[in-house]
Amino acid sequence: MEYLNLASGRFAYVRRGQGRPVLLLHGLGSSLLDWQPQIEHLAAHCEVIAMDVRGHGQSEPLRAPVSMAELAEDVADFIRTLRLEPCILVGISMGGMLTFQLLADQPQLVRAAVVVNSAPSFPVDTWKVRGQVWLRLGLVRLLGLPALAGMLAGKLFPKPEQQALRERVAERIASNDPTSYLHAMRAIPGWSSLPRSGEANVPLLVVSGDRDYTPLEYKRAYLDQLSDARLEVIEDSGHATPLDQPERLNQLLQAFIAEHSAPLSA
């Protein structure tokens, strides 16, 4: 593990391999540890970097409300400081949202991007969505992160043979700092990077598990708002695709990275 001091605090990261820089961004309540299958595979094909987003893992905790734009600026500062630009960004869930925010704000830092089980906005426009947000916030405040961790891990890995994954991920979610988790979560509802992220002239691969929380129709609908994007569906996968279908995702990432690793002048 390495550490980098930026204006907004200290950030933990790992760096492996050589070649085109590829930066991995995890989801809410996660950390760079959940990218281990991708780090091990991609390090043979490129320079892979995985960071803990502020408020997660071993990076700076969150002690005040924060916006998605501010968290994305952390990532931009990280990219500039390590001189990774233009890099290939890969983000899952909240990490995908941060990727969309960077495409909106600073697309020059991004050579190409992959978003996994994510979206360019999170509208709170139905009572169902409001209820889901209130439920998660309420669980953390009233019962603590271990209760939420058990519920989420059960949804992420419902199969009997996934018990080891359930236990590992539940432990990781439960180990989050509750204050940081709540601040990060509150940054998501009502957020949108559109229309600017859709206007970015950056190749984009949208990856979806066929059992992800949001239906494929939703992803196909927002795909029409993006200038240069295509969709790939991974079968028998839920929201945690990097962990429940690592080999299939690794194949997609390796091919996409190779496609966009030629010199920019070529």
Give 79-98 pLDDT, tens digit per residue. 999 999 999 999 999 999 99
Which fold does the domain 2-122+191-259 belong to in CATH?
Rossmann fold (3.40.50)
Q: List the one residue out of 168, 172, 174 whose CA is nearest residue 143.
A: 174
Provide the CB-side half-sphere exposure for 37 (13 A, CA).
15
Q: Rounded to whole angstroms, how far apart are CA atoms 75 and 26?
A: 12
Q: For residue 265, what pLDDT is reported?
A: 46
Domain range list for the chain? 2-122+191-259
Q: Would you say residue 26 has pLDDT above 80?
A: yes
Q: What is the pLDDT of residue 127?
A: 79
Cα 98 to Cα 120: distance, rounded to the nearest angstrom: 9
Our CA angle for 59, 93, 18, nearest 5°, is 60
227-243: average pLDDT: 95
Mean pLDDT of the chain: 93
What is the Cα–Cα distance from 215 to 86, expressed in whole angstroms? 31
Q: What is the pLDDT of residues 179-205, one digit of tens each?
A: 999 999 999 999 999 999 999 999 999
